[in-house]
Amino acid sequence: MTKIGKWSGYSILGLVVVLALLGCAGGAINWNQEPPYALVHSWGEKGSGPGQLSDPTGIAVTDTEVFVSDARNGRIQVFDHEGQFKRAFGTSGDGFGELGRPMNLTIHGDMLYVPEYMNDRIQVFSLAGDPLETIGGPGERPGQFDAPGGVAVAGNGDLFVTDFYNQRVQHLRADGSFVRQWGTTGETGRGAGEFTYPTDVALAGDGTLYVADGYGNRVQAFDTGGGFLHKWGGPFALGLYGPFKGWFTTATSIAVGPEGNVFVADFYNDRIQKFAADGDYLTAFGSKPQTPGHTAMAVAIGSDGTVWSVNFADNRVEKWEPVK
């Protein structure tokens, strides 16, 4: 994944002022954070065989299985919680059941929703791997996508999709019909409800919609009726990136835990950050790469609060638990 660019236009004086405000903006400083999480298990290596991965980009879990987007191999691989390979489905291509760079995964009910970066669509599979339907297609019109990165599914089957190059989040019915969108098609922005290459989306139990505004280096929260609630990430969540607490340098994945906490994969900082629902920083943890590249590409949370992630650089699945 290539970093698109750096924000410019901040004067040195302006930057100094911004840094001076960190203690009261964007959750950047919080001395009452929780303990970090510990890496308790991992598996995977680069390759194309069963259990091997090539640029993993998404993860989703059930109480017994782990589903991983094996992007360059054009497939989904399924493991048990101990890392034993169980099955794989999808092959590279653009036909029904084939995958073109699968991204962040979502499980809703007994179905797996797979956004395809290259094929500009969402494919829906059974958990066994049977292709069921496709939603969307390439374009800028409502209901079309240009590199969708993540999808959230409401209780009624409605879809919320991050539309990466179209700079928007779309709300669709289960059949793909358009309801509304956040953001202006094709236009980046740093204001509330504007996006700079959004990557993923997650729904909380109370209906709050959290959006990982990828190269905007922040999280934005909305109600599902379209109303903006709040945002965080760096000073005033204006897009400035960095390694500090509560800041991001490309947010690539987002998930909500069973207690309502929000977990964000902070890719270029090689970490996962955990926040309260209102954006208060709680803790961070992650793996440093053993090979060139960066690690924290995607995150999912089990029903017991266990954190699962994919390590992009080292082609691994990682399991994290709170330090006791």
Report the pLDDT averaged over residues 249-275. Answer: 98
Q: Is residue 6 included in any domain, yes or no?
A: no
Report the pLDDT averaged over residues 99-123. Answer: 98
Query: With 60 as the cut, is the pLDDT of residue 92 above it?
Result: yes
Q: Residue 227 and residue 209: Cα distance in Å, rounded? A: 10
Q: Is residue 166 included in any domain, yes or no?
A: yes
- 61: helix, coil or strand? strand
Report the pLDDT averaged over residues 21-47. Answer: 73
Question: What distances in angstroms separate CA 264 from CA 23, 46, 167, one per listed residue?
Answer: 21, 24, 19
Report the pLDDT averaged over residues 237-244. Answer: 96
Q: Is residue 199 included in any domain, yes or no?
A: yes
Report the pLDDT averaged over residues 290-318. Answer: 98
CATH code of the domain covering residue 66:
2.120.10.30
Question: What does the mean pLDDT of the chain come to?
Answer: 92
Report the pLDDT averaged over residues 300-312. Answer: 98
- 284: helix, coil or strand? strand
What is the domain extent for residue 253? 12-322
pLDDT confidence of residue 207:
96
Query: Residue 224: which pLDDT band, with cuts at 50, 70 and 90?
Result: confident
Query: With 90 as the cut, is the pLDDT of residue 213 above it?
Result: yes
Q: Which residue has the higher pLDDT, 29 or 242?
A: 242
Q: Is residue 5 included in any domain, yes or no?
A: no
* Count of the separate structural domains present in the chain: 1
CB contact at 8 A, 263 and 308: no
Please report which helix (H) or strand (E) contains residue 19, including its range: helix 12-20
Which residue from 250, 192, 229 is spatially nearest to 1, judged by alpha carbons? 250
Query: Residue 312: which pLDDT band, with cuts at 50, 70 and 90?
Result: very high
Query: Residue 226: which pLDDT band, with cuts at 50, 70 and 90?
Result: confident
Which tens digits make up the pLDDT trace of 148-204? 999 999 999 999 999 999 999 999 999 999 999 999 999 999 999 999 999 999 999
pLDDT confidence of residue 7:
38
pLDDT confidence of residue 42:
98
Q: Is residue 7 included in any domain, yes or no?
A: no
Report the pLDDT averaged over residues 18-22. Answer: 45
Q: Is residue 85 included in any domain, yes or no?
A: yes
Query: With 90 as the cut, is the pLDDT of residue 274 above it?
Result: yes
Q: Is residue 4 included in any domain, yes or no?
A: no
Q: Residue 37 and residue 257: Cα distance in Å, rounded? A: 14
Q: Is residue 309 included in any domain, yes or no?
A: yes
Query: Residue 33: which pLDDT band, with cuts at 50, 70 and 90?
Result: confident
Q: Residue 11 and residue 34: Cα distance in Å, rounded? A: 35
